[in-house]
A = this chain, B = another copy of it.
Amino acid sequence: MSVDVVRWPEQATRLAELREEGLPRLILVEGSGLPLVTADPLEDWIRVPADAQDLQLRSDTLIRRAESATELRPEIDAAGLVRFGDKWVALPPVEARIVQALVEGWGDVVSRETLAEKGWPDASVGGRNALDVHITRIRKRLRDSGMALRTVRSKGYLLEAG
């Protein structure tokens, strides 16, 4: 992730583009005019000539903001490997299918029915408790992965960071 640096008012068009795309940007204000008014946290400005240290500092801050704005999402491959950030966990078939449904609905509640359908596509599972047991097992496996499987009682489960 990097910060685009634009000169104002010279590169006004470029600035407008960056704003449109929502990219972090640092404006070098030439002259003594008022540059802009925006509440966007991904924008900052500094007057030229600028101290190199100050410029670096404001640039770093923008990068931090941009990074904290993009939230991390897990991925799961066909082999049942769940990746989240720099961590990964291997899951057995049934649990991999269940977690796949949870990953697709990342941050949202996924109903028990949906999870049961995904976990056992041929609908060959018997008792209602089979899912519960796998939920417990998934929790155990995900314990050190940076993710948490939360219960939303009478509604389902949701996977989130934390």
Within 8 A of B (CB), among A134-157: 150, 152-156
Chain B residues lying within 8 Å of A54, measured Cβ to Cβ, are 47
| Inter-subunit contact A38/B53 (CB<8 Å) | no
Interface size on A, residues (CB 8 A): 32
| Inter-subunit contact B53/A39 (CB<8 Å) | no
| Inter-subunit contact A152/B90 (CB<8 Å) | yes
- Indicate whether A61 sits within 8 Å of B90 (C-beta atoms), given known contacts A155-B80, A156-B79: no
CB distance from A3 to the nearest CB of B (A): 13
Chain B residues lying within 8 Å of A41, measured Cβ to Cβ, are 41, 65
Chain B residues lying within 8 Å of A92, measured Cβ to Cβ, are 153-154
Given contacts A35-B57, A47-B54, A90-B153, 19 further A-B contacts (CB under 8 A): A34-B57, A37-B60, A38-B61, A38-B64, A39-B65, A41-B41, A77-B108, A79-B108, A79-B109, A79-B152, A79-B155, A80-B152, A80-B155, A81-B109, A81-B152, A90-B150, A90-B152, A90-B155, A92-B154
Q: Which residues of A contact B (CB under 8 A)?
A: 34-35, 37-39, 41, 47, 53-54, 57, 60-61, 64-65, 67-68, 77, 79-81, 90, 92-93, 108-109, 150, 152-156, 158
